[in-house]
Each structure stands twice: as structure tokens, then as C-alpha cells.
Amino acid sequence: MADPATTESESETPSSSGDLAGIEHVDFIGIGGCGMSGLARMLHAMGITCSGSDSNPSSTTSSLVKEGLGIRTVQDGSGLPSKVDLVVASAAIPPDHPEIAAAEERGLRVRSYAEVLGMVQAHRTSICIAGTHGKSTTGAMLCHVLMECGLDPGFIIGANCEQIGPSRPGAALIPGGGPLAGEPGLVVCEACEFNRSFHHHRPTIALINNLEEDHLDIYGSIEAIVEAFREFAQLLPPAEEGGSLLIAHDGAYRHQITPPLHCRVATFGYHPEADYQVVWDPGVQRVGVLRDGLWVVQWTNMMPGAHNALNAAAAVILAHQLGAEWEDAAQAMNTFQGLERRMQRLGDIDLPGGGQATLYDDYGHHPTEIEHTLHALRSSEDPGRLICVFQPHQHSRTRFMLESFAESFSSADEVIVPHIYFVRDSQSEKQRVSAIDLVDRLQERGVVARHIDAFEDILSHLEVNLQDDDLLVIMGAGPVWTIGRDLLDRMTP
């Protein structure tokens, strides 16, 4: 799916397409998402009147109403306010949506979420978290550390994190406090590569955590993905203007991305030649950072796994670059408890025949995410059996990466696959692959796998077949998360 169409030239750069000067009222189509609601809150805090629509009422839309934003649930274009200067469309909104059509008929400017976020980032210290995996986790970790160190960032994070609360303006709209007093306020945002939307960002400091094949329906090849990340990195200002890139030493194609850059560049990772070498002890989840071979700082991660050790290290390094003391940043990282749907422990299930099963929920929908998460849970929990209910997200992703998906469940004893979550793809793409194709590939590799199409039938299967000391992981970016919550409701006395 393409980004929503704009009413002005597609050749406009973020700087030439204007900023927020003179904007008095902004309307958001699809305001209930984490990014859209966070952006609306930021604009609202700047004194701009904000309203929006979303077909799915939620706790987020209810909170926005309490904060003074006008929200409507009918999206037929009839409720678009009479005095609107700018309309923002979520990436999930198709270009032929009735609300977009109504705005265009009135000659209103229609912009994507990423374009307007770029306008907010202008004239601020913008920290953009990029990479195929770990954007929400690393972003939440960084925000937690900055808040604990008194730096009060504004942020928009794509997952709920109880410790930092919902996306908020923070001090982003005023000069920063603490060590950065008098400097432009901090704004921490995820920089998503889908449809090259991160090219609209205006980063001051950026992280590229990792880089792999994904969104191949958009890019077609890893070479095109690398080129998109290279163009994103080139948005950073030169070093003398504060531009800085932290990039993974391994797994981020740094040799292709960094040569043309004029910003400061530093690498991090497990390799001893990285500028910041990360050391991880999986037995106790102890993470340390070395600089030039000397210990700088260390802490204990609450979120297990080698990938989360790297996420945490990136957050601590960035926090230090932004003015936090090393030891203060490490102490804050010690207390980070995690975020929603990222290796989230939902609780223990009391089984009818006695004993307990442990339930986790996770957003993973890419083969590497699946592999890392399941391996980390297998190592940290040491269950009798590890059972994963995995809903593939998007037919094209499933088809392009079918063999990689099949290889990613080696840590699981059993995999249950419902229907593929249909989003963004065409009907013809939907016919080219099915959940049964993934089950067949898993079985060929000796994994116990079964296709159970309906969520209700999966719940019934789990109620009967869960055993003492089982670890159950509900995984995927679609509505599969409801299975975990429903199972808890059914099996909790």
C-alpha cells in the first residue's frame, strides 16, 4: 500500500513542503494508533487545535477526548471539521479513503504521519531510532533512561510502556533541562523504513540497530533496503552541527551506509573492534560496555536475550551522548521492566489437572525476531515444552520469507499457526500463500506444527492440551494477541 496521496507535488522535500507556521487546526485520520495519537498530543501541547477520526474506539481515543481533542468514529468524510489547515493520514489509511477524498475535495493539504512528524522534529534535537528490529524496545529503553536522568524527552513510541507512559511532549517543545539546559528539546521517535517513510524525518542523532530483508513488497531486494537506509543516514547534519549516527558494527551494512556521511559515526556491538564493545553474560543477564578496551559501565537487564542486551547498550550509549552520566544511565537501565507485547510475561495459568503453564506475549513477526525471542525464552525459562502460537503478518512477507520463517522456530516444541493476517496486500497476493504452506515447511524440518484457523478453536485446543511446566508464547503483529488475554480470562479462577 502506498502512502496516502498528497495534494501538492511529490517532489517536495520536507523542508520545502513547509513547517507548522500558521497551522491552527490539524485533523488526524486514524488517530488511535500509537504514532498518530502521540503526534496529536505533541501538536496539541503546542497550542494547535487537534481532532481526528478512528473506526475503532479504544482506551487511547478515550484518553484523547479527556485531553480535549475531538474524536469521531464515523469515517465517511462528513465529520471533517469546517476549519482545518492540515489533514494527517496514518500509513494504514489507503489513498482512496473517504476522509482523504473529502479533504482533497476541499483543497486541504493532506500529509502522512511521517511528513508531519518531520515538521515537529525541525528546530529540536531529534533522536531517530531505525532498524529492522528493536525500534520500540530501544526507544522505550532510551526514554526511560533519559527520564530517570532528568532529561525529560518528548517521545512517540510504537508500543505501550507502563514506566514511561503514553507518548507525550515532555520538554520537547521548550529548551531542554538538566545537562542540556538551554539547548533544543529532545524528541525521541521511531524511524520506520516501511514505504521509505523515514526519509521525511529530520534527525539530529540516529541509531541504526540492524538491517535485514523486510518489506520486500516495497523494496524488492536487500540492496534497495540498504540504499534506503543510506539515504536516511544522509539526512543527519554534519558533525559540527551536532549530527551523530550510532550504528551496529555487525549486521547493519555500515560499510555501505557510512562512507558518504559528514556526521559523527560510532559503532557498537559484540565485536572487539566496535567503538563501543558490548559484553553480555547470559547466565545473569549482565551487560557491559567497553570503550577503547576499557570498562565504561555495566548493568543487569530485566529483558533476557542477546538482542535485548544490544538494544539496552544502544540506549545507554545514546543517553550518554545526550548528556547523561554513564553510571546514572546504567542505574536507570537496571530498572527498565519492559514494554507491552515485547517478550511480555502475562502470568501463570493454573491447569485443571494441576500444575501451571507460563504465558508470554510478543509482537515478533519477522524470522529473526522469532528466532531471537524463542531462543531467549528457552534459555531464560528452561520450560518442559515451548509452545508458540504464531500468526503470520501479511501474505507477501510470508511468501517472500517462507523458508526463513520455517527455520526460525527451532527453539519451539510445537507451533500452532492460524490464518495469515491480511493487511496491505492485494487479493491476488492472498491467493499465493497460506498458513498451511508454513506448517508444511515446519513439519519438513521436524517441528511439531499444526494449522488451526480460528482463534476460538486454538483456545479450545490449548485448554485441553497445555501441560505443567509448559511455556506458551502468543506471537505476531496482528490480532493474535487476543488469544493470550482470552486464555487468561478463561483459565483464571
The verdict on residue 159 lying in a domain is: yes
Q: Are residues 207 and 241 in the same domain?
A: yes
The verdict on residue 201 lying in a domain is: yes
Residue 4's pLDDT is 33
* Closest by Cα among 129, 30, 133, 28 to 84: 28
Maximum C-alpha span of the chain = 67
CATH of the domain at 461: 3.90.190.20
Q: How confident is the model at residue 301 (pLDDT cuts 50, 70, 90)?
A: very high
Q: Are residues 166 and 68 in the same domain?
A: no
CATH of the domain at 210: 3.40.1190.10
- Section 240-262 average pLDDT: 95
The verdict on residue 5 lying in a domain is: no
State how many domains the chain has: 3
The verdict on residue 175 lying in a domain is: yes
Q: Are residues 243 and 290 in the same domain?
A: yes
Q: Are residues 360 and 224 in the same domain?
A: no
- Section 9-34 average pLDDT: 69
Q: Are residues 229 and 264 in the same domain?
A: yes
The verdict on residue 484 lying in a domain is: yes
Q: Are residues 350 and 251 in the same domain?
A: no
Q: Are residues 130 and 191 in the same domain?
A: yes
Give residues with Cβ within 8 angstroms of 131, minimum separation 6: 138, 207, 208, 209, 210, 211, 248, 252
- What is the DSSP track for 113-173? HHHHHHHHHTTSEEEEEESSS-HHHHHHHHHHHHHHTT---EEE-SS--TTT-S-B-TTTT
Last residue of a domain, one of 276, 300, 334: 334
φ/ψ of 39, rounded to 5, equals -65, -40
Going by the DSSP 8-state scheme, the letter that residue 399 receives in this structure is H
Q: Are residues 277 and 140 in the same domain?
A: yes
Residue 290's pLDDT is 97
Last residue of a domain, one of 334, 355, 386: 334
Q: Is the pLDDT confidence value at 8 over 50?
A: no
Range of the domain at 101: 25-111
pLDDT in tens, 96-148: 999 999 999 999 999 999 999 999 998 889 999 999 999 999 999 999 999 99
| Whether the Cβ atoms of residue 348 and residue 462 lie closer than 8 Å to each other | no
Q: Are residues 305 and 385 in the same domain?
A: no
Q: Is the pLDDT confidence value at 59 over 90?
A: no
- CA dihedral (138, 404, 476, 200) positive or negative: positive
The verdict on residue 38 lying in a domain is: yes
pLDDT in tens, 64-77: 999 999 999 999 88
* Closest by Cα among 447, 361, 432, 444 to 398: 432
Percentage of the residues of the chain whose pLDDT score is greater than 90: 72
Q: Is the pLDDT confidence value at 87 over 70?
A: yes
- Section 21-42 average pLDDT: 91
Q: Supply angle C-alpha 389, 395, 396, rounded to 5.
A: 130
The verdict on residue 444 lying in a domain is: yes
Residue 159's pLDDT is 87
pLDDT averaged over the chain? 89
Residue 46's pLDDT is 84
Q: Is the pLDDT confidence value at 6 over 90?
A: no
Q: How confident is the model at residue 183 (pLDDT cuts 50, 70, 90)?
A: low
Cα 245 from Cα 226, distance rounded (Å) = 15
Residue 172's pLDDT is 54
Q: Is the pLDDT confidence value at 177 over 60?
A: no
* Closest by Cα among 311, 322, 403, 347 to 150: 322
- Section 257-274 average pLDDT: 96
The verdict on residue 298 lying in a domain is: yes
- Section 12-20 average pLDDT: 47
Distances (CA, A) of 460 to 310, 356, 359, 361, 483: 38, 17, 16, 18, 11
Q: Are residues 264 and 348 in the same domain?
A: no
pLDDT in tens, 347-378: 999 998 889 999 999 999 999 999 999 999 99
pLDDT in tens, 187-208: 999 999 988 999 999 999 999 9
Last residue of a domain, one of 284, 300, 334: 334
Q: Are residues 401 and 426 in the same domain?
A: yes
Q: Is the pLDDT confidence value at 427 over 80?
A: yes
- Section 23-45 average pLDDT: 91
Q: How confident is the model at residue 184 (pLDDT cuts 50, 70, 90)?
A: low
Cα 227 from Cα 164, distance rounded (Å) = 34
Q: Are residues 144 and 34 in the same domain?
A: no
Higher pLDDT, 183 or 306: 306
